[in-house]
Chain A
C-alpha cells in the first residue's frame, strides 16, 4: 500500500512563527503536492513538485515556500505564520507528472495559528 505520512496531525503556532510541515511518501512517486482545505472552498493547491529540487507554484503560494531535497520528502514552510493560514493542510503524491494516475493523500495536519 502507498503510504503518505505527515509529521503532525495537529499543530498550534503563534503569529509570526516559522512553521514546518513535513510529508514523506514511500512509493517512489515523482509528484508531490501541498493543498489546504477550508470549508466551502475545497482543495486549493499551494505548491507542487515533480522532481527533486523542482517546485512549481499552485493557485495560492503567497506566504508559503517548499523544499524537496529528497524524492520521498516534501516540506511546506510558513515563513511567518498568520491567522489566515489556520487550515487543514493535506500532502499528496502521485506516480508521474505526465500520466493520469490517482493521488494518495496523507492524513492531514490541522494547523491553528493564534
Chain B
C-alpha cells in the first residue's frame, strides 16, 4: 500500500532550528512535496525534491533520500510566523499525490 508518515506535533523555540521528518512508501515515485498550512488557511507550496540531496531556499531546506524513502524539512532561525502545519506529500507513478497527516509546529518565544 501507499503510506506517508510524519510526526503529529513538534515544539521548538524562536530562533532555533527544527527538522521535520517524513517517510514514504509509494507505487513508483515522481517527487516529494512540502507544503505549509497556517490554521484556517489553504496549504501553500514550499519545496519539491525528486533527486537525492538537499535543496536550500532561504531559511527553509528540504532533503530527499530515495533509497531510504525519507525526506526532511529543515527550518532555520525560527520565527513565530513559522507556527503552522507542515504537510509532506509524495507523488506516485501516476502523478497522484499521497499526503501525510501533517506536522503541527508550535514555536515558543
Contacts and interface: CB of A to CB of B under 8 A. Distances in A.
Contacts of B33: 102-103
Q: Which of B42, B45, B91 has the most CB atoms of chain A within a 10 A radius of its CB?
A: B42
B42 A107 contact: yes
Nearest to B101: A42
Interface string A70-106: 0000000000000000000010000001111011111
Contacts of A106: 42
Nearest to A56: B96
Chain B interface main SS type: loop
B101 to A, nearest CB: 4
B11 to A, nearest CB: 18
Chain A's interface size range is 10 to 19
A43 interface: yes
Contacts of B89: 43
A105 B102 contact: no
Given A90-B43, A108-B41, A103 B101 contact: no
A4 B44 CA distance: 12
B87 A100 contact: no
Given A43-B87, A90-B43, A100-B31, 19 more contacts: A4-B42, A40-B8, A41-B101, A42-B4, A42-B100, A42-B101, A42-B102, A43-B43, A44-B99, A45-B97, A97-B95, A100-B30, A100-B95, A102-B33, A102-B45, A102-B48, A103-B97, A104-B45, A108-B41
Interface of A: 4, 40-45, 90, 97-100, 102-108
The 8 closest A-B pairs by CB, nearest first: A42-B101, A105-B42, A102-B45, A43-B99, A100-B31, A100-B30, A42-B99, A105-B43
